Amino acid sequence: MDEEAAEVVREIFELYVHHAMGTKQIALQLQAEKRIGVEYHKKIRKGIAVTAEDIYLWNSGTIAAILKRQEYVGDTVNFRTQIASYKNKTVIYNESDKIKIFPDTHPAIISRELFQMAQDRREKTIRHPSRPHKYLLVIICIVWTVTQECTAEDVGQKVKMLFIAMSVQLTGKAKGVTSMVFLRNILKPRSYRQFRE
Q: If 0-12 CB within 10 Å is exposed, 13-18 middle and 19+ buried, where does residue 25 land?
A: middle
pTM of model > 0.85: no
- What percentage of the chain has pLDDT greater than the value 70? 63
Q: Tell me the pLDDT tens digit for each residue of 81-139.
A: 888 888 888 888 888 888 898 998 999 999 999 999 999 998 887 665 555 555 555 56
Please give the distance of CA 89 from its chain centroid, rounded to a whole number.
Answer: 22
What is the per-residue pLDDT for 129?
A: 55
What is the per-residue pLDDT for 135?
A: 53
